[in-house]
Amino acid sequence: MLEVGWLGGSLTGSGADALIAGVFDGAAAPEGLEGEGLLPYAAAAARALAAGLVTGEAGEATVLPVLDAGGPARLVLVRLGERGAYGPAQARLAAARGARAARASGARRPVSVLHRATTPGLDGRAAATAVVVGMRRGLWRYDGYRTRPAHPAQVEALYLYEDDAARAQTLAEAMAEANAVADAVALAREIAVLGSNDKFPARVAERALAYAAQVGMEARVLDETELAEMGAGCILGVGQGSVHPPRMVVLRTGGGGEAGGPVLGLVGKGITFDSGGISLKPAAGMEEMKYDLCGAAAVLAAVGALARLGSPVPVVGILCLAENLPGGSAQRPGDVVRSLDGQTVEVVNTDAEGRLVMADGLALARRLGATHLVDVATLTGACVVALGHAYTGLMANDDSLAEAVAAAAASACERVARLPIDDPMYERAIRSDVADVRNVGGREAGAITAATFLRRFVGGLPWVHLDIAGTAWLSEERWARLAGIDTGPTGVMVETLTRLPGVLAAR
């Protein structure tokens, strides 16, 4: 298990083997290398900067040998960009890139002073949180299936250096919160990256129960018999083509809150593999459909983090788990199913399955007392077309809740872009001739009509839909490098959901 801590005083004999620091554009010296124990590194950095050896755009890292310091033999200098533009997002990227450069150089126990690079928009606590989360996010990778690691160097420990007692106390407090968040993001990414043969619905539900026991949150699993008794026909229809029947997992955490106060319902799409069903997807790239449960993974991880950190409002989490496969018993285009809240749905395309399982999940969250709803789903390719891989799509029926989610996302350095769903044409697009609603609305505005479908199942409660189809994983190296991570799952929205109860409580 990765050790994360802090060091003070001399680095000689500390075991640290790389020192990570940052330098702003135009600066003659890096940030944070003040102190007697760091003088050799400050001198080495000054020489390298004067010689023009540290170049590149923000986030670029240069590794320098420092052989006579008595401590770490590597100095990693990361470009921080313009001082006036430096904030939490830039700190996270610098930390991720610096840690990755240290690992690539062979370091196993790097120590960072990046948290000392503060600006008016980034205080010491926020900087420490950003650096810890950034380093851990940048270093994460899953080698569980490999007979030998993908990279020979395995980072065993991460340290932050601080020799000021008051700042060290702030650092320790920030690191506790940052590690809880980083643990949660890592969990979501690990669940996402597993092969679907290792994460069918019942197995993900078992893992959720084990995680709940570990972090101290309530959890209950609803199997296919209970789902049928409840009338959850949408999720049962999606999963009926698989030998692995659906599951729904109910999670709870948080205090009682004020009487009449908000109860936050978080609903996550958990399609453990999506072939498209009878409306079969093309073969190219279908292996990436193991990532179609990233919404459920984010909800599980976020509620777990809130159980560890404490939530100021009660939280109910719903994981909607199903496997969408073709077969003799599979759902057919033209079938009509009945949702948990009694609405009938004409299934026009079986590859629009995510909105079906989420319909039952949203209805269940309402039944369990949620007053505010947020759902997270890898829902539509149309959202990827609209926003690419930079922004998560946000659609809502309530401006106040939309603003709260956007504020939580901003504090988590996760970007959202709001799309409209208020025009009657979107509702008209999903009218059915034989049922209350149809599950697709045509090619135009696909992300919006999908959200419009979900809106029918929120019962008029304040609701936000987050479409993470473009941000839940990154397949291309060029996008992953910009984010400072390996290709694969990102853990997006875990931290946003973790911060959201605090935002709600403050309003």
Active site residues: 281, 355
How far is residue 204's CA from residue 215's CA, in Å, rounded to a whole number? 16
Other beta carbons within 10 Å of 216:
10
115-181-392-59 Cα dihedral, nearest 10 degrees: 30
**Contacts with 3 (C-beta within 8 Å, 6 or more apart), sequence order:** 156, 157, 158
The secondary structure element, H or E, covering residue 314 is none
Contact 332, 242 (CB under 8 A): no
Contact 102, 18 (CB under 8 A): yes
How far is residue 207's CA from residue 507's CA, in Å, rounded to a whole number? 34
HSE-CB for 364 with a 13 A CA cutoff? 32
Of 314, 265, 317, 325, the residue nearest 296 (C-alpha): 317
How far is residue 34's CA from residue 391's CA, in Å, rounded to a whole number? 38
How far is residue 284's CA from residue 196's CA, in Å, rounded to a whole number? 17
178-207 burial string, b = 16+ CB within 10 Å, else e?
bbbbbbbbbbbbbbbbbebeebbbbbbbeb
- Cα separations in angstroms, 62 against 26, 40, 87, 202, 477: 16, 17, 21, 46, 20
* Sheet with 315-324: strands ordered across: 218-222, 247-253, 315-324, 264-274, 372-377, 463-467, 392-396, 416-418
How far is residue 36's CA from residue 48's CA, in Å, rounded to a whole number? 20
403-138-467-368 Cα dihedral, nearest 10 degrees: -70
3-class SS at 78?
A: strand
